[in-house]
Amino acid sequence: MKKERKDNSFLKQPFYEGGDQALKTFITENLKYPEQALSHKIEGSIPITYDINFKGEVTDVILLHHLGHGCDDEAIRLVKLLKFKVPKLPRGMRVIFHKKITIHFRLPKHQDTPTPEAPSVSYQITYTSASVPTKESEPKKQENSYTYTVHFGS
């Protein structure tokens, strides 16, 4: 008969339900790249420390590096959305846990939306005028072709 092993840690750390892969998926799906950062083509990573209370809620967020252009606010918003599972604490203790995460801002490979600049639009119109001879004895007149190209935008 085997003895049950006791857990060595007195306090169990909070965890994101579904593990690290679910955490990465959540961040990828909920990250909204700021428009200002897109227009200035800002990329980078923001390391963040945050506190988790005994209920599993993120309470305090501290940025260790700043990118600006709306990325800092988006990183804070994203981390505050996280919810963790906290194992039952002994004797009803109320403990605050400290964790770190890095939020990466990478420009999309291809953008579905046009850039903020006005798109260039062009129309091409071609007129062709040709005269058809009424009699076989009349000489054939020369065909005239005109092409107009009009550009709108920058």
The boundaries of the domain holding residue 49 are: 19-105
| 91 shares a domain with 31 | yes
Residue 50: closest CA among 25, 88, 31, 77 = 77
In a domain, 100, yes or no: yes
Could you tell me which residue, 35 or 112, shows the higher pLDDT?
A: 35
| 128 shares a domain with 92 | no
Q: Could you please report the per-residue DSSP string of 55-109?
A: TSBEEEEEESS---TTHHHHHHHHHHT-B-B-PPPGGG----EEEEEEEEE---S
> Distance between CA 57 and CA 59 in Å, rounded?
6
Check residue 131 and give its pLDDT.
Answer: 45
| 40 shares a domain with 72 | yes
Could you tell me which residue, 53 or 1, shows the higher pLDDT?
A: 53
Q: Are 57 and 28 in contact (CB under 8 A)?
A: no
- pLDDT tens, residue by residue, 70-108: 999 999 999 999 999 999 888 888 899 999 999 999 988
Q: How many residues in the chain? A: 154
Check residue 129 and give its pLDDT.
Answer: 45
| 95 shares a domain with 37 | yes
| 26 shares a domain with 68 | yes
| 93 shares a domain with 133 | no
In a domain, 12, yes or no: no
> Distance between CA 63 and CA 48 in Å, rounded?
5
Residue 107: closest CA among 67, 76, 73, 136 = 67
CATH of the domain at 50: 3.30.2420.10
> Distance between CA 82 and CA 71 in Å, rounded?
17
How many domains is the chain partitioned into structurally? 2
> Distance between CA 109 and CA 111 in Å, rounded?
7
In a domain, 55, yes or no: yes
| 63 shares a domain with 136 | no
| 96 shares a domain with 126 | no
